[in-house]
């Protein structure tokens, strides 16, 4: 099941799940403008080729984001189809993240 969460709700998941990972699915040029600290970068255009290697634990919690939520929702749907259990779509994408949580 996929859940939509705000950034604050996403941070609260770190107290609920053992392993929580932010996954940025924007392209390289977007990533370079700023991303959530410690996020994993898997570009949308390469996601289907890289996800198994980069996201090996299907029970971990993955909070997926992009610029506004469209691509991340598609990735969430894909991960659910692939059997991942704890999938979260970050509402508003990177634009909903406080500047203090973004690094370049």
Where the chain has pLDDT below 70, the residues are: none
Q: Which CATH architecture has domain 2-98?
A: 3-Layer(aba) Sandwich (3.40)
pLDDT at 13: 95
Contact 95/68 with Cβ under 8 angstroms? yes
pLDDT at 89: 98
pLDDT at 7: 95
CA geometry: angle at 42 spanning 54 and 81, to 5°?
70
């Amino acid at each position: 099941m996929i859940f939509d969460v705000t950034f604050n709700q996403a941070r609260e998941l770190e107290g609920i799940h053992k392993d929580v990972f932010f996954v940025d699915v924007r392209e390289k040029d977007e990533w370079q403008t700023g991303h959530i600290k410690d996020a994993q970068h898997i570009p949308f255009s390469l996601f289907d080729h890289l996800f198994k290697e980069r996201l090996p634990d299907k029970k971990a919690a993955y909070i997926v984001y992009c610029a506004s939520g469209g691509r991340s929702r598609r990735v969430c749907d894909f991960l659910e189809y692939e059997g991942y259990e704890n999938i979260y779509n970050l509402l508003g994408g990177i634009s909903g993240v406080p500047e203090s949580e973004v690094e370049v």
